[in-house]
Structure 1
């Protein structure tokens, strides 16, 4: 059997020696009769030119080599283009490639992956520079822009710094419960793609006060971090004393939170929304306002209340009456949480799943409630507008209805970081045109 030759072998000329001086040397180029140039050395055998022969007599080896090379080059090119698109916040790339790939995963896995990517700072810092017209001052806090991320995205406070870096003016984490709890059984999150909506029934899955507090404490101690952090407080599902759960949250996070939110409007914790009734709310807020006022130090975090969009007209009047009382006077409203109503036309699967609906179907419902509560409180209570914000126009309409700040959630889940920049740019243009002061 003849041994296979090396794929890369040196060929030596073992014939009789030739006097080099007798061998015509190729010139770099020669003039043809017609005046054109010829390159004689191109017609010489390759081995005579470089002395090396590549043996690809094995066609399968050659094919494998070519395929491997093509895959390497292609994957490298795709990786480079993807990295550049992410770095440049290319919205078409996110909408056409990256986000559809994320949506191949089930919604909760996709959510967890987004948190992990944010946690390790893999999203690049936004290149957009917030303009002076977007700066907002509320509760003696200076917001670089009025667009925040709503509670529910970063429940455990893992991605706060990255979320600030990609352009959010403030980050609200949670809901956080005193003791760790797993939340409701899976599956508990459902996409309604055709409706640009999400239904969730997470049920306050939380790592608990201590874990989340330590994360915020560490972040606040980092040199150079100046981002605004809100902490959304919830109660444990098996709590015997819900009011005490909120008191514990105020005491725990009072020295690290820039503002606190009392969440009594999630539809996924049994009995929670009953605290929006007038008598229960009055009793709750009297206790919580005292707890906040008794915190040590001169600076007390603003206390906000998050309400549901499904309130009747009487419920709205009752809430306004309570929060305007001195003993129950809070510093702001977050309007609104998710809705349990399915009155609007929905075209996607999973529309009958139980849980809170967020996204496009909530846009006008939340804006109407903002306008109502602004009117009922005579504009004396600052409002954070949430619900179905997918454009600068959506944000502007909530501000026009009475909101000082706005928050995103579902639009961020569908479109990723570029939507933050787009909404701010569009909102800035509306402000510059004089639509709002």
Structure 2
């Protein structure tokens, strides 16, 4: 293995600064040898959650890319993405089948809806009734305003052609077959039609997607209070919350339960959190490029990284790419640094987690905390029903975590 290498495997980016060769552990996860700095960087999909239709208060189907990816967006009743999405900072348009954001459609407030493109509205119609028929043409929309990408290919991926970016209408005399040494010029840009170099066709998920790797499979289990039994008393335990990438407190009744059960938060973190895993807060998906890869940011020349090795972004910027801020990220995203480069993380999500980790009690006092290795650790729980607060304190529910005042 090269001293510096980038490996894209499924939904994770692994960066290795190596002295030894990486290997798979008993769970099939990539791990590092003692002297190998081996960094898996999460960049894509989430596990299954329950999507609730607020209009009808119905549980949505547990199929479809929006439900299976579970990346925090609103799903249609067929399990695809709602075309208009909103967060605390504004609203924006996304592609119905993969959730790719048109970053420059974002409005400055979530009280104003964006105007979505013809391309996005076409996708909305195609997936309105769920999975479309086989060989349906699925257009590709750009990540700026959501307009049609200038190069489109037919449903069989045999021929490609140029289109008008606003209407999507095929331009005459531009259709060419995919083959080696074949090029096509669309919108003043030359595209290779070599099948070996052409971006792979999207494959929609058909089963639950792993959000990120953990040290033990049991870390993906929900907490289980167990049951009361003779000669035991309820006690405080911790479980790894796969949803929030956090070790949270809960009351354990004494017997039964499952293996996601630890005496301290440190034991929980040691078992479940890989020490070299990096990503957005709560392992929320970062901004993505046109082929689904993470948009990386930050200087590549850090901690001995060779200066001629770029961050693992595989698609060069095009003129229909989104505008970038001073961090090198799309609008309302910020660069969250890892060891060698950062990810473009949604500001709304980072703000939510920052507020969640720094709660305040209504009486002006600090929430309950304990000394852990020389620093104070606030005791957080998932919900107040977990009965995790000590005597004399009352549980306070909040956006992401509950805490004790």
TM-score normalised by structure 2 residue count: 0.25
Structure number, greater radius of gyration: 1
- Considering Cα pairs closer than 8 Å and 6+ residues apart, tell me whether 1 or 2 has the greater RCO: 1
Bigger fraction of residues in helix: 1
